Chains A and B, each alone.
Chain A
Amino acid sequence: MMKKINMKKILAAALTLGLLCGCLVGCGSNTAQDQEGSAGLETGNEQGATGEESFKIAIGFTDNGATMFSLMANNVKTMVEGMGGTVVFQGGIGASADATIQFVEDQIAAGADGIVFGPPSDSVLTTVTTMCEEAGVYWGIAFRSITDEEIKALVESSDYYIGHCFEDEEKTGYQVMSNLHNKGISKVAIISMAKGNNTTDLREQGAQRACEEFGMEIVAEARDLTQASDATNAAESFLSAYSDLDAIFVVGTTGAGIHEAVAKAIEDAGKVESVKLATIDFPDSMAELFEKNILATSSGAPSWGYDPYMITAAVANACKGNRISDMPLELEIPMYDIDDAETAAKWLEKYGNADTLYYEESVIKDTLDKSVNSGLDEEAMRNMIQEFVENTAD
């Protein structure tokens, strides 16, 4: 009995000590990060030898090592540092409104001059607008449009809102279904996000529009799949329930390996010839899926990171005192279709490499920095975007 009590006391003491050590280490690493941050700011100040003040931008997307994120991060960092600023990336915002607001609060408290993020829904934007107004922080939206007119009016009335970069999700959903129709496909099952997610809701609207126009039918749906096996499960259920199913359309997902899992279900069912896969955003195994003749069409931004890259450029210029435009920017990134293995391979060669630069450093300075290129305006940015898309798989 005494031995038991002693064991409990020892365990309690050990756990308390461990917790204390963890807190101290955490504080120590925070201090180290502050020092690094200071060093970063100092670097910015050294670069601003002409008297320009440095600035700090916070990006609400993480660089977790995956190619698409690293590509975005490398390019944004090169661009912002080329303009004399520093950039921090913070992930974990996910699809939660609370996490988004927390991110904005944290970055304002950490001294950010500009913030770029992709809101999960319009509802967070009123709070973000107020917070940024009060703090005098410029901000912009990536990957999203504001659909609620009242919220849009409120946000656009703020001097600190720079604008948004977006893809026409409704048009993209329509385009993919149109591509499928051209291949003789009529019955489609979809895998998408939960209702209320602006991006996929718009894509589905576009898909529905195509259904009405072309006489196609969306026969079944599965939502919010996070595990690859959930996707296999859903695809098997679709194939079992609809023997005349023509395609499975992955409208949007945050899970990894979803496309490959759906492809496996199609292969296991022996329906590679009769059931195709379509997707928005380019999966990692795109070339392989095209070669297996499972993937019929894929539509996505020419490079995922280009959207936050362009809006960050606009926010960076605002932080330097040179707004691109007095009105909020609306920069649409046209989607790019890939329908065959060869184009997929070319695309992967270019954007499957995290070191690829969208623009060389000299071009950034001469073109994207309004303090050097005084003619930079919304029209010029749109022309740059168009040229970028046209040269995607060259």
Chain B
Amino acid sequence: MNKNVLNIIKLISLPIILYLFFSISASGFGMHSLPIVVSQSMIPTIMGLGLYLMMNADLMDLSMGARTVFAAIIGGIMAQKFGVAGLVAGCFIGGMAVALFMALLYRFIKIPAMVISLGIVLIFEVAGAKLVGSSGYLRITEAEYFIGSYPCNIIIVFAAAVFAYILYYKTRVGSYITAVGNDEKMCKNVGINADRIKFAAIALTGIFGSLSALLYICYSGSITAGTEMTSMSMVFRPIMCVILGRYMRKQVECMPLLIFIGGISITIIFNGFVALGFSEALQDIALGMFLIIILGSRVITQSFSTWKEAKGRA
């Protein structure tokens, strides 16, 4: 069989195995859960597509959640005046503005991206809360949130994934981002301006931030302003998607697909745990163990092979 096809089969085996496992072990989990699983994996996927750009450039970002919420608030405010057009424009303006601000800060102040991202979280959480006002949240109408609800959200994420693929693999900036992430010193030696490339990486996350803001506000029909760094928890699931995706890279070089598969897998796990009646604490433990086992499986397998060889020789 063609090697690529075999690799893709290996790739999709993870979510399939997880789905079958939970379908058998939890009576409430089954075919009817699939549309919800797919829909719920859209937001972590699109945030993961943006986070990957920064992680690929060897930058750590914890502000994607805060940026998403802020952009969604701008979108919600503009939706009240201009309807759907205002919602889309507002999310885009908010997402790009914050991303450019963050990129400029990184470019000129030259402090670690993690520190800047924490500052962005603090600033834009408060800014968003001030914009939203006393109630703490904004609602949009059904006519407005339809554009980002299921199944339109799948179309939006598919388009974003195609764009991400072209960006990562078919553009010069995408190649440079990968190169800078792998070896910044070497890039500088061959004349690539690493600072400018990192600036571009951060700025480009604004596109995915804008789209995730649109999906986020449409998902519940409202947006709640986060404070006290609560928005940071929004990035953990997308980060897990990217980490899982990177781990599966040896099968096929297509990060948008890998991030999506990571997203689907983690969403199946979360929903499966709910169907099994796990408490929140147990869900977190089980997810942590899953990640450790999956990501450590290569090392475990290698160690086992080495041990077997040594035993065989003995």
Check B275 against A226 for contact (C-beta < 8 Å).
no
Question: Which of B32, B231, B270, B279 is close to A237, meaning CB atoms less than 8 Å apart?
Answer: B270
Q: Does B216 contact A (CB under 8 A)?
A: yes
Give B72 Cβ to nearest chain A Cβ, in Å: 9
Check A65 against B108 for contact (C-beta < 8 Å).
no
Q: Does B271 contact A (CB under 8 A)?
A: yes
Q: Does A111 contact B (CB under 8 A)?
A: no
Tell me the bound Cα distance from A260 to B43 in angstroms. 20
Q: Does B52 contact A (CB under 8 A)?
A: no
Check B274 against A261 for contact (C-beta < 8 Å).
no
Considering residues B39, B150, B222, B230, which has the most beta carbons from chain A within 10 angstroms of its beta carbon? B222
Q: Given A11-B109, A226-B230, A261-B221, does the pair A240, B32 have CB atoms closer than 8 Å?
A: yes
Q: Mark A99-125, 1 if CB is under 8 A from B, else 0.
A: 000000000000000000000000000
Check A256 against B271 for contact (C-beta < 8 Å).
no
Chain B, Cβ-Cβ closest to A194:
B280
Q: Which residues of B contact A69 (CB under 8 A)?
A: 134
Q: Given A66-B134, A256-B135, does the pair A229, B279 have CB atoms closer than 8 Å?
A: no
Q: Does B177 contact A (CB under 8 A)?
A: no
Check A231 against B28 for contact (C-beta < 8 Å).
no
Q: Mark A41-78, 1 if CB is under 8 A from B, else 0.
A: 00000000000000000000000111001000000000
Q: Which residues of A contact B271 (CB under 8 A)?
A: 237, 240-241
Q: Which residues of B contact A256 (CB under 8 A)?
A: 135-137, 224-225
Check B280 against A222 for contact (C-beta < 8 Å).
yes
Check B277 against A219 for contact (C-beta < 8 Å).
yes
Check A233 against B40 for contact (C-beta < 8 Å).
yes
CB-CB contacts below 8 Å: B23-74 with A: 26, 28-29, 32-33, 36-37, 39-40, 43, 69
Tell me the bound Cα distance from A50 to B133 in angstroms. 43
Q: Which residues of A contact B137 (CB under 8 A)?
A: 228, 256-257
Tell me the bound Cα distance from A240 to B274 in angstroms. 9
Chain B, Cβ-Cβ closest to A268:
B149
Considering residues A69, A195, A229, A264, which has the most beta carbons from chain B within 10 angstroms of its beta carbon? A229
Tell me the bound Cα distance from A188 to B240 in angstroms. 31
Q: Which residues of B contact A284 (CB under 8 A)?
A: 135
Q: Does B309 contact A (CB under 8 A)?
A: no
A-B contact count (CB 8 A): 105
Chain A, Cβ-Cβ closest to B270:
A237
Q: Does A323 contact B (CB under 8 A)?
A: no
Question: Which of B32, B220, B281 is close to A228, meaning CB atoms less than 8 Å apart?
Answer: B220
Give B250 Cβ to nearest chain A Cβ, in Å: 31
CB-CB contacts below 8 Å: A208-252 with B: 219-224, 226-229, 231-233, 236-243
Q: Which residues of B contact A236 (CB under 8 A)?
A: 36, 39-40
Q: Does A321 contact B (CB under 8 A)?
A: no
Q: Does A22 contact B (CB under 8 A)?
A: no
Give A210 Cβ to nearest chain B Cβ, in Å: 18
Q: Given A65-B134, A227-B234, A256-B136, does the pair A243, B220 have CB atoms closer than 8 Å?
A: no
Q: Does A94 contact B (CB under 8 A)?
A: yes
Check B220 against A264 for contact (C-beta < 8 Å).
yes
Check A237 against B274 for contact (C-beta < 8 Å).
yes
Q: Which residues of A contact B221 (CB under 8 A)?
A: 228, 260-261, 264
Q: Does A18 contact B (CB under 8 A)?
A: no
Q: Does A375 contact B (CB under 8 A)?
A: no
Chain A, Cβ-Cβ closest to B129:
A64
Q: Which residues of B contact A231 (CB under 8 A)?
A: 220
Check A238 against B40 for contact (C-beta < 8 Å).
no
Chain A, Cβ-Cβ closest to B22:
A241
Q: Does A136 contact B (CB under 8 A)?
A: no
Chain A, Cβ-Cβ closest to B138:
A257
Tell me the bound Cα distance from A243 to B226 in angstroms. 32
Q: Does B258 contact A (CB under 8 A)?
A: no
Q: Does A255 contact B (CB under 8 A)?
A: yes
Q: Which residues of A contact B225 (CB under 8 A)?
A: 256
Q: Does B139 contact A (CB under 8 A)?
A: yes
Check A238 against B226 for contact (C-beta < 8 Å).
no
Can you report 25 residue pairs joining A to B where beta carbons are below 8 Å apart? Answer: A64-B134, A66-B134, A195-B281, A220-B277, A224-B280, A226-B226, A226-B230, A227-B224, A227-B226, A227-B230, A227-B234, A228-B221, A229-B217, A229-B220, A232-B219, A236-B36, A237-B274, A241-B28, A241-B271, A242-B28, A243-B32, A256-B135, A257-B220, A260-B221, A260-B222
Please name the 7 residue pairs, one residue from A and one from B, whose CB atoms are nearest each other, closest first. Answer: A65-B134, A256-B136, A241-B275, A257-B137, A232-B220, A256-B137, A261-B220
A residues touching B (Cβ–Cβ < 8 Å)? 7, 11, 64-66, 69, 94, 195, 219-224, 226-229, 231-233, 236-243, 255-257, 260-261, 264-265, 268, 284
Excluding A227-B224, A229-B43, 10 further A-B contacts by CB distance (< 8 Å) are A220-B277, A221-B280, A222-B280, A226-B226, A226-B230, A227-B234, A228-B223, A240-B36, A257-B136, A257-B223
